[in-house]
């Protein structure tokens, strides 16, 4: 790995110090925590202007806590800690998170962080797809203070997001689970350390009449430069009976909201087919998790 312009490596002790360093170096700085995607970004040629690495591992941003019915996950919390958290591991509402974390190898599970995974803004990643379906939001600190942004509004393109050059993600907020709600996630990959050819997450609420309500369907992988919310599929589902026929109809509608690509890993037609299959399977799994 070659990062020829790197001149400094900083380990700030406070959030304010990290923000000041980001302000000093601007677009020429990069935050690191787990550091699992530094090589991936470097080989894609997007780190040529980076002069300073800022290690945020000492900022006290790890851990998971409850807050007014929500779960708040610190940005440097690693995947293994998330997997092991009792509230996440046991709740059908959060099941898509656990599904997404079954795919990375142990080396990534032990060091990869939730904040870094999101900040990379790569729609080939799995966890942000699952979190988007759960209506997660991000708490962000920067030179102009703190703000909270819905994850669905965070990504603006491939490796691009709404963060200013002097801002960092500090926490991920998972909203309280609605009653009778479950989620599910699936990924198509070539091997155990592969980025997604396609990934897909759903959240399903079933109301007292047995109908789908407030559904979410998000798709990632080679379907565009960011995760796509499949609003057409959601519109088909909401108010319809929670059954196979509705899921079939949603799977046909989901392709209206994606732009699958042709590349050396899969054709656009194959990706579209898999998205349909995964929509049906994820919805069926979520329904099964509701018993």
Query: What percent of the chain lies above the pLDDT cut of 90?
Result: 81
**Is pLDDT above 70 for 108?**
yes
**Is pLDDT above 60 for 1?**
no
CATH architecture of 64-174: 2-Layer Sandwich (3.30)
**Is pLDDT above 80 for 73?**
yes
CATH architecture of 181-289: 2-Layer Sandwich (3.30)
Of the two residues 111 and 40, the one the predictor is more confident about is 111
Tell me what pLDDT residue 255 has: 96
Tell me what pLDDT residue 194 has: 86
**Is pLDDT above 80 for 136?**
yes
85 backbone dihedrals φ, ψ, rounded to 5°: -70, 125
pLDDT band at 262 (very low <50, low <70, confident <90, very high): very high
Region(s) of the chain under CATH 3.30.465.10: 64-174
Region(s) of the chain under CATH 3.30.43.10: 8-55
Tell me what pLDDT residue 34 has: 83
CATH of the domain spanning 8-55:
3.30.43.10
Q: Poorest-confidence range of 24-28, 168-172, 256-260?
A: 24-28
pLDDT band at 5 (very low <50, low <70, confident <90, very high): confident
* 141-160 average pLDDT score: 94
**Is pLDDT above 90 for 79?**
yes
Tell me what pLDDT residue 127 has: 97
**Is pLDDT above 70 for 172?**
yes
**Is pLDDT above 70 for 75?**
yes
- The per-residue pLDDT of the chain, averaged, comes to 93
pLDDT band at 95 (very low <50, low <70, confident <90, very high): very high
* 209-214 average pLDDT score: 97
pLDDT band at 49 (very low <50, low <70, confident <90, very high): confident
**Is pLDDT above 70 for 191?**
yes
């Amino acid at each position: 790995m070659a990062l020829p312009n790197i001149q400094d490596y900083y380990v700030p002790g406070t959030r304010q110090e990290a923000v000041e360093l980001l302000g000093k170096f601007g677009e020429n700085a990069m935050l690191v925590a787990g550091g699992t995607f530094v090589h991936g970004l470097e080989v894609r040629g997007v780190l040529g202007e980076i002069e300073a690495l800022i290690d945020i591992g000492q900022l006290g941003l790890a851990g998971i806590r409850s807050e007014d019915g929500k779960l708040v996950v610190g940005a440097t919390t690693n995947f293994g800690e998330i997997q092991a958290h009792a509230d996440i591991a046991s709740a059908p509402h959060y099941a898509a998170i656990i599904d997404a974390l079954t795919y990375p190898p142990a080396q990534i599970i032990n060091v990869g962080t939730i904040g870094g995974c999101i900040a990379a803004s790569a729609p080939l990643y799995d966890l942000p797809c699952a979190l988007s379906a759960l209506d997660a939001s991000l708490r962000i600190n920067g030179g102009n203070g703190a703000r909270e942004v819905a994850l669905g509004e965070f990504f603006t393109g491939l490796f691009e997001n709404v963060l200013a050059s002097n801002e960092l993600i500090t926490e991920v907020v998972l909203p309280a689970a609605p009653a009778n709600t479950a989620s599910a996630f699936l990924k198509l990959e070539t091997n155990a350390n592969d980025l997604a050819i396609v990934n897909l997450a759903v959240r399903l609420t079933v109301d007292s009449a047995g109908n789908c309500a407030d559904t979410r369907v998000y798709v990632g992988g080679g379907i565009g430069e960011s995760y796509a919310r499949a609003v057409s599929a959601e519109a088909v589902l909401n108010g319809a009976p929670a059954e196979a026929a509705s899921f079939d109809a949603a799977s046909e509608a989901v392709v209206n909201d994606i732009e699958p690509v042709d590349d050396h890993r899969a054709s656009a037609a194959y990706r579209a087919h898999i998205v349909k299959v995964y929509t049906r399977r994820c919805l069926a799994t979520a329904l099964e998790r509701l018993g």
